[in-house]
A and B are shown apart, each in its own frame.
Chain A
Amino acid sequence: MVATDTDAEEAATLPRRRYGGWSRLAAGAAVWLVSAVGSYLLGLGWISTLLIATFIASVTCYWGSYLTKRVARAVLAIAIVATGVFFMVRLLPGNPVDVYIAKIVAEGVPYEQAAAQAAAFYSFDPGTPLWQQYLQYMWGLLNGDFGTTLTHVPVLEKIGGHLPWTLFSVGLAMIISVSIGLLLGMIMAYRRGGVIDHSISAIGSALHAIPNYLMALMIVVIGGVQLRLFTLADIRGTYSAGQTPGLNMEFIQDAMYHATLPVLAYVLTTVGTWALIMKASTTQALGEDYVMVARARGLGGGRIGSMYVGRNAVLPLVAQIATQAGFVVGGAIFVEIIFAYNGVGYTLYRAINDRDYALIQGLLLVITITVVFANLLADLSYGLLDPRIRTAGKEEES
């Protein structure tokens, strides 16, 4: 069903070899030390040194373990995506420096001089061979250096200024959406076939069918233009023009006000899906023997609902919630553009328009890393939350 169940199955079918405890640990420590000294001498920063040494040591000495394998796969995926993005962005026509040079040459400045001027203004030199640029970029990444934007701001700093807004709006929406969805789903499962079940099902599928950016447009047209609940010019953006970011009531209120519309768009389009998934999961849990036993023991409905049904119904959803959380950051791009919400998606859109290579790479890499880590967490949570998967080999077939 979910993308991740195959990995849980791998964890299950993997032969559980016992490694020769101390000798393996010693070998791991030795490899760790060698690679740590090696990468430090190569000129890496100390945080990267520690991470890389740990990675090399665990991969070489604990390769059979599921955790190592899974982490190695995640790192490989990130490396390949980083490489792909690097070349894709550069193979495409129209780099910003050429545009700039063409503009100055048209004003009568000789080409050489124009090129020098452009090189001085932009932190990007198209004359460097591609492979050299690539090696520089990857080496920078290992050091935690994402390069600088065209206007000489470090990419990480730039991303750091926008990522919190996306995380804030998307995170808030997910918390609201998941909790309402799970609650509605349980009610639907308890009242199967009733009026509530049918009406929530119908509304849920209708809302699920509407793409989130169309929902955002509808909110603007119906709420802002027809009903005049808000003025679009005021509510656009992340916070009002006069405000300075800080931890005071006024600013938080303002930020919440500006987040309302994006959050509403996300919640409306996802809450139905969660309700329907939770309904299926609860229906299954309600049919289990232990629920019947709990009823026979005379336990109260509320206790059964929360302790016996609710927990077991939510369990299979945790991995799905984690997977979704990863995708949502990348999917926020449309809604952020419509509401001019100054998060990662909106920044990426402007970076693409400005052909700001370093910023595009950095943003895509951050989005990739979020997805990879969300998937990693989802995979690991399977084994941790449901012990049956670790022991029963046949679980793979569900």
Chain B
Amino acid sequence: MSVLTPSPSIPRHGLFYRLTRNKVGVAGFIIVGGIIAMTLIAPLLLDTSVPGDAQNTWSGPSAQHWLGTDNAGKDVLHQVLLGGGTVLFVGMTAAAITTIIAVVFGALAAYLRGPVDSFLLQATDIVMTVPQIVLLAVLGSFFQLTSPTVLAILIGCLSWPILMRSIRAQVLSLKEREFVEAAKLLDLGTARVVFAEIVPNMAGYILINFIIAVTNAIYALVGMYVLGLAPLAGANWGIMIRKAWTYGAMSLPEGTLFMMAPVAMIALLQLGLIMLTRSLEEVFNPRLAEG
């Protein structure tokens, strides 16, 4: 069980040093940073509409199309370079919503205890019980979820309970510490004690869980696209996989790249994020590094 190390034991100037010393962490950072940079820069350099090349449908890799073309003759490489935006945006927004709800509810439940605590715990029971992927599938197939923001809010509102429970456990332990006792004695008020004294002491833990929440949100989002439950408007990695699947790309030798390129990008992004959390864990919890 990861016992929380209060951040005072980590010297602030040492954070960058510790992060860069860990090879896995640096690799993760480069992967994630590279993908984010790519999705930000690509729309500036490339034609975002990706014109189709009717002469070259389902062509293999060539000098003109490095990763070949899809069923409409669109360049696969261009689509891959341009297709990360929605995935990253929804992933990060949903994760931010999840983390904020979890931190606020978890901290308040643990700090106030009593009826607030039991009510919030019952709420986590219910939200956690609804299989979220299935619920998203149901909602996605009935409602037209064209706006990425709505998708993000939906995913974010469904996935907070597990994190809320672990935040609650952390706060239960933190609130017994001396500095919280001191803050209480100074009569600083609930909001101030919880959000200015307790929560900042969990910053590392919250950051790690934010990144994990990003991977979970991407899992749910891409899953909806692959099933065709989210509207296939625009172009992103999830929609590319869906199209490759429905047009039977895997039975054509030339189509393999159209299917595998976005799959590889998503896997790479997820891997980068997980590598980042592993090294952050070692930074914030030095005892793990020895193990």
Mark A residues whose CB is within 8 Å of B: 1, 3, 5-6, 9, 73-74, 76-78, 80-81, 84-85, 88-89, 92-94, 192, 205-206, 208-211, 213-214, 217-218, 220-221, 224-226, 232, 280, 283, 316, 327, 330-331, 333-334, 337-338, 348-349, 352-353, 360, 364, 367-368, 371-372, 375, 396-398
Contacts and interface: CB of A to CB of B under 8 A. Distances in A.
B22 to A, nearest CB: 13
B278 A205 contact: yes
A6 B165 contact: yes
Contacts of B215: 209
B216 to A, nearest CB: 10
Contact of B274 (A3, A205, A368): A205
A69 to B, nearest CB: 10
Given A208-B274, A283-B291, A76 B122 contact: yes
B134 A214 contact: no
A92 B104 CA distance: 31
Which 5 pairs of residues, A with B, have the shortest CB-CB distance? A330-B131, A92-B142, A397-B173, A209-B270, A209-B271
B2 A218 contact: no
B131 A371 contact: yes
Contact of A348 (B134, B161, B259): B134
B129 interface: yes
A90 B271 CA distance: 40
Contacts of B223: 211, 213, 334
A218 B260 contact: yes
Interface stretch (B66-74, B149-157, B182-190, B250-258): B250-258
Contacts of A367: 131, 134
A338 B291 CA distance: 39
B143 interface: yes
Interface of B: 1-3, 121-122, 124-126, 128-131, 133-134, 137-139, 141-143, 161-162, 165-166, 168-169, 172-173, 176, 215, 218-219, 222-223, 226-227, 241, 245, 250-251, 253, 256, 259-260, 263, 266-267, 270-271, 273-275, 278, 291
A128 to B, nearest CB: 21
Contact of A220 (B131, B141, B227, B250): B250
Contacts of B263: 214, 217-218
Given A214-B266, A221-B260, A368 B130 contact: yes
B267 A78 contact: no
Nearest to A5: B169
Nearest to B288: A280
A1 B250 contact: no
B181 to A, nearest CB: 15
A221 B222 CA distance: 18
Given A225-B250, A367-B134, A217 B259 contact: yes
B130 A1 contact: no
Given A81-B129, A360-B138, 10 more contacts: A6-B165, A9-B172, A211-B222, A213-B223, A232-B251, A333-B133, A352-B137, A364-B130, A371-B131, A398-B1
A297 B131 CA distance: 50
Contacts of A93: 142
A364 B251 CA distance: 34
A206 B270 CA distance: 9
Contacts of A337: 227
A324 to B, nearest CB: 12
A124 B1 CA distance: 51
27 contacts: A1-B169, A3-B124, A3-B161, A5-B169, A6-B165, A77-B125, A78-B129, A81-B129, A84-B130, A205-B274, A209-B273, A211-B219, A211-B223, A213-B222, A214-B226, A217-B241, A220-B250, A225-B250, A232-B250, A232-B251, A330-B133, A331-B133, A333-B133, A333-B227, A349-B137, A368-B130, A398-B1
Contacts of B139: 88
A3 B227 CA distance: 29
Contact of B222 (A214, A225, A368): A214
A73 B125 contact: yes
Contacts of A396: 169, 172
A85 B219 CA distance: 23
A1 B2 contact: yes
B249 to A, nearest CB: 9
B260 to A, nearest CB: 6
A217 B245 contact: yes
Nearest to B256: A221
A7 B137 CA distance: 30
Contacts of A226: 256
A209 B269 CA distance: 9
Contacts of A232: 250-251
Contact of B271 (A3, A9, A85, A205): A205
A371 B259 contact: no
